Structure 1
Amino acid sequence: MKYKKLMSVVALSAVATIGLAACGNKEKGGNSKETATEDISKFPIKATNKDKAIKGGTLEVAAVMETQFPGIFSEIFYEDNNDNVMMEPSHESLFMSDDNFEINDKGVAKQELDVDAKKATITLTKEAKWSDGKPVVAEDIMEPYRIVGHKDYTGIRYGENFRNIVGMEDYHTGKAENISGIKKIDDKTVEISYVEMNPGMTQSGEEIWRSAVPAHVFKDIPVKDMVSSDAVRKTPVTFGPYKINKVVRGESVEYVPNEYYYGEKPKLDKIVTKVTPSKSIVEGLKSQNYDMVIKMPTDSYPNYKDVKGYEILGRQELSYSYLGFKMGKIAGDSTIEYNKDAKMANKSLRQAMAYAVDNKVVADKFYNGLRTDGSTLIPPVFAKFHAKDVKGYKQDMDKANKLLDEAGYKKKDGEDFRRDPKGEKLEIKFASMSGGDTAQPLAEYYMNQWKEIGLDVKLTTGRLLDQNAFYDKLQNDDPEIDVYQAAWGTGSNPSPTGLYGPKAAFNYTRFTSEENTKLLKNIDSNKSFDADYRLKAFKEWQEYAKEEAFAIPTLYRNEVRPISERVTGFDWAYDAPTNPWAEIGVTAESRK
């Protein structure tokens, strides 16, 4: 795909073409001329500067965000991915993984699974210490389970993975003071007993919790007060290569070396990460204001691809964009309540909306190939499990119109828009987020395409929503949302149960069915420890999800990270052998 010219925009109506061109004519968004599409596999994955790092120095990092970060520096409490970005230099997982995201023995801890006995054993293998000098011990591995499982826990992590631990439900409801299925073997070893074993436990995800919590810090803080405590908001104790030294709320974080880090001594004196809006990030790069940019927008790639003083790292992203259709609500016990009479519960309506758009043209025109059109809800970064032969929805306006006609969505004489099968007026509310130069024209493109097949689609509240308002409405099942455009960060476990399962808080479509639940259970069952069975289970679910169209993958995402030419030692590969923040340094006093 590299350097192939985008010769023409085909299969788009005139009005849609105008919508796409609107992006290209903006100074910092899209590209108004024919542009080569890029191949992410050709980008470097680590700093090519091999010079020796100088002693000390300050690394200045820009994190592209349209809103302030909430400032919850804890893996068990954070909900906004912006906080996760701010934890990169300071927080480290217990486990490391290979290029298939399967846990290996190179991290602070290793794990061993006994499938027949339904047990996992976690053993600390390195003499890691917290940033206050205390050793990381077995109690610290157990502490996240005690907090997340507690009845006063206020976060979102208490889901199927935690309920699957023997004794967790009794602990959660207050019937037991401890979790019977979690046992300390010695100061370095913890044994966890499960109700069912899951092949996702081999992955570096959340089936087996990946982080530790300093028990000596949190043991005296009531669980209900933890999320607002200094231990989470201001002075978190961590065992990564750097520790948080100063927080300017919502704006920046300053890190200094963790003098007790178990690995190679951090090279820098300081790291400062500042929130930077997308509208100013390109000019900031051109002025060489930063050593690194996290979450660099790909829609403005032509404007910075050759920027002086930088190289651009690239990799497939553990995420995808999608269109979701609201079809129910979530109950107080986290059970999805699907409503078969919901506005968007008609499969033909959902499929027609999918056939109306051309996501390949969107990917090439808006993102220069740094995003690609989606086909299934398992992105290709999971090469083993992505079903290549399951074809996604390609634009077919005739098929879209036929589906609507046959399902009874018809116009009355003299009307511009279709009515629902009962003959009532149909207005569909579409929620999409603001941010970046492409947000508005992309939302307009989708709405224009749906108008072309006779659907009256309007923006929720009449405008794009900022990220906080968008997710507040989505999570609370606001009736103002019928269809929405969003993105998922999948994590490193390819199982889709946490996003589309019958008890998944993140199942924002609120779709569930017996067949969907059965197919998801097959993916996560004991039988799926057999590689061939698991591959078959993944394929069957992807085929079903495509047919039901409760969520339509629109774009697979690739991510880029500009780094200054003075940066050395940074390895962005998912299977990097060490924490990249432990190795990073600079080879000159200044970027200029």
Structure 2
Amino acid sequence: MAKGGTFIVAHADNPQNLNPFHPDIPVDELNQRQLFEGLLVLDQDFNLEPTLAESYEVSDDNKVYTFKLRPGVKFHNGDEFGAEDVVYTWQWAMKPENASASLSRFDQVEKVEAPDAETVRVTLKSPSGPFLRRTATHGIVPHKYHASMSPEEFNQAPVGTGPFKFKEWVPGDHVSYVAFDGYWAGRPAIDEFRQVVIPEDSVRAVALRTGEIHSSAWPLAPDDTLDLLEDPNFTVYRAPGLELSHIQINQKRKPFQDPAVRKALMYGMDREAMRRDIMRELATLAQTNLSPALSDFYDPNVTQYAQDLDKAAALLDEAGWVPGSDGIRAKDGDRLDFVLLMIQGDEIRPPQAELAIESWKKIGVQARIERAEVGTFVDKIFGAADFDLAFYNWTYGGKDGDPDAFPQLACDGSDNHTAWCDQKATELLKRGLETVDDTERRAIYSDFQKLFAEEVPFLYIMFWDDIIFISKKVQGLPGSARRPRGILNEIQHATLTA
């Protein structure tokens, strides 16, 4: 096996943020993981491994963590890594005025200090079950370099400690990184990591077959996936996904504040037909917010929503939603007539959306599809809250192998884009967040899932199988992965054959 070469991975989207303060969009995370490292790292099997921290100790009350940092680490610009960088990064992320998307990861942090150049001490407000997985893995920036420029400037010239350093970004085409000669764990064998933008699922599949790319970080169309599963030229990593394919509901819009409307939309969809016929059984039907991949916490014994148009119509009748002359229901001047927002270039969800819209029409609900470029889509959902319904994948607990969903689903959750607010749900999520014992947490999250399914904060559909194809020209990667997309964060360990 020869050293050198360029590893090429395709994604449907153009990255928006090449900095660790906006880590939750998959295409951004893929790029950030090549550049940045945290004190710890989550590997492809959900295991925590030391990275910029060599070790840590925990106080008896589970509120104080003391990290001993790895000596001799350098940033891509030559700056020495030390405790000041960790403190700066965390404190910057914790300031609301900085509008960091990772703010919620630090909700439980009371303070972070640097007793000396190689020690970081973190004091929590209360014990936190997900702290190590969620917070200690946050990427670290060089404090002097980052403070010398605006966030926008840093985003165009990012610097971290990761195995690859930034080379160039051509929006809409590709982002490239070159091997970091000064990487603390040794220079990667591969010379360059390149993420190319190929929006169309079918075109990405052709690029895989022809060898134009080595992998796709975004799912392919079901037919192409089934074909490639039989192709001997690829190593296949497959496991149940963690991201929920769902139709988000904006509960700031009055009709969606009525639980009868939300439940009727759920009963109105044939989710099993979406999974079986459109996704070709490459997915698992969602029963709660958590994926069955989180087997220690997943509880499917909840309210079920097999399609039942009569029940859906009855719910709307009982709630006072009356069909008009055009068949569309209305109440107090509000019509059940919505726009369903989708990402431009998405080929997987539109057939599912069309099936749902056709079924909803039978119960007096009208919806029409509107498409938006990914940047506009993100702003409408996570910024302006300017939407009725939106179809995409997101994680509501389980992202790092932990069931916590407080940021996304609690009343005061910093990432709650549904505007759903249930006080009992918030209390359960708070208890789960502050409990360290797994047995106690299982009971708490079981109760939460039952309440979630009863209230239907949004329309949960399925968990896609997480399937990553890697060309067999790429050698040296782990043979399996419980978190298949995580395999793309191990490229620094790989080599390329001709």
- Provide the residue aligned with 1:331 in structure 2: none
Q: In structure 2, give the amino acid aligned to 1:573.
A: A
- Provide the residue aligned with 2:193 in structure 1: 271
- Provide the residue aligned with 1:171 in structure 2: none
Q: Which shows bigger deviation, 502-511 or 534-543?
A: 502-511
1:92–1:211 Cα contact (<8 Å) kept: yes
User: C-alpha distance in 1, partners of 2:101/2:267?
Assistant: 34
1:254–1:270 Cα contact (<8 Å) kept: yes
- 1:243 counterpart (165, 188, 196): 165
* CA spacing shift, 1:291–1:97, aligned 2, 3 Å: closer
Q: In structure 2, give the amino acid aligned to 1:581.
A: I
% identity of equivalent residues: 21
Shift of 1:318: 2.9
User: C-alpha distance in 1, partners of 2:335/2:162?
Assistant: 57
Check if 1:557 corresponds to 2:464: yes
After superposition, the C-alpha distances for 1:223-258 in whole angstroms (9 at most, x for unaligned) are xx1x222x4312x22222221223323421222221
Shift of 1:546: 0.6
- Provide the residue aligned with 2:11 in structure 1: 64
- Provide the residue aligned with 1:142 in structure 2: 87
User: C-alpha distance in 2, partners of 1:108/1:298?
Assistant: 40
After superposition, the C-alpha distances for 1:486-542 in whole angstroms (9 at most, x for unaligned) are 2114531320111112233431210112212211112112xx222221111101111
Q: Which shows bigger deviation, 307-316 or 373-382?
A: 307-316
* CA spacing shift, 1:165–1:55, aligned 2, 3 Å: closer
1:108–1:128 Cα contact (<8 Å) kept: no
- 2:249 counterpart (312, 321, 325): 325
User: C-alpha distance in 2, partners of 1:238/1:370?
Assistant: 37
- Provide the residue aligned with 1:11 in structure 2: none
1:298–1:560 Cα contact (<8 Å) kept: no
Shift of 1:261: 1.6
Shift of 1:79: 6.2
User: C-alpha distance in 2, partners of 1:265/1:474?
Assistant: 40
User: C-alpha distance in 2, partners of 1:54/1:450?
Assistant: 57
Check if 1:220 corresponds to 2:148: yes
User: C-alpha distance in 1, partners of 2:277/2:71?
Assistant: 48
Shift of 1:578: 12
Larger radius of gyration: 1
User: C-alpha distance in 2, partners of 1:247/1:477?
Assistant: 27
Q: Which shows bigger deviation, 389-398 or 187-196?
A: 389-398
- Provide the residue aligned with 1:3 in structure 2: none
- Provide the residue aligned with 2:114 in structure 1: 184
Shift of 1:478: 4.8
- 1:165 counterpart (89, 104, 109): 109
* CA spacing shift, 1:109–1:557, aligned 2, 3 Å: farther
- Provide the residue aligned with 1:198 in structure 2: 128
- Provide the residue aligned with 2:41 in structure 1: 96
- Provide the residue aligned with 2:381 in structure 1: 474
Q: In structure 1, give the amino acid aligned to 2:330.
A: R
1:130–1:238 Cα contact (<8 Å) kept: yes
Secondary structure at 2:322 match in 1: coil
Q: In structure 1, give the amino acid aligned to 2:392.
A: A
Q: In structure 1, give the amino acid aligned to 2:169.
A: V
Q: In structure 2, give the amino acid aligned to 1:199.
A: G
After superposition, the C-alpha distances for 1:114-154 in whole angstroms (9 at most, x for unaligned) are 25272122222464332334442111211212322346524
Check if 1:352 corresponds to 2:276: no
User: C-alpha distance in 1, partners of 2:489/2:25?
Assistant: 22
**Structure 1 residues not aligned, in runs of 5+:** 1-52, 167-180, 329-338
Q: In structure 1, give the amino acid aligned to 2:35.
A: S
Q: In structure 2, give the amino acid aligned to 1:62.
A: V
User: C-alpha distance in 2, partners of 1:346/1:390?
Assistant: 20
User: C-alpha distance in 1, partners of 2:343/2:364?
Assistant: 24
- 1:290 counterpart (197, 205, 213): 213
- Provide the residue aligned with 1:13 in structure 2: none
* CA spacing shift, 1:247–1:470, aligned 2, 3 Å: closer
Secondary structure at 2:368 match in 1: strand
- Provide the residue aligned with 2:301 in structure 1: 389
Shift of 1:447: 0.7
1:128–1:239 Cα contact (<8 Å) kept: yes
Secondary structure at 2:169 match in 1: strand
Secondary structure at 1:74 match in 2: coil
- 2:180 counterpart (258, 266, 275): 258
**Structure 2 residues not aligned, in runs of 5+:** none
- 1:417 counterpart (321, 328, 331): 328
Secondary structure at 1:296 match in 2: coil
* CA spacing shift, 1:435–1:554, aligned 2, 3 Å: same
- Provide the residue aligned with 2:429 in structure 1: 520
Secondary structure at 2:56 match in 1: strand
Secondary structure at 1:69 match in 2: coil
* CA spacing shift, 1:385–1:107, aligned 2, 3 Å: farther
User: C-alpha distance in 2, partners of 1:446/1:354?
Assistant: 9
Q: TM-score, normalised by structure 1?
A: 0.76
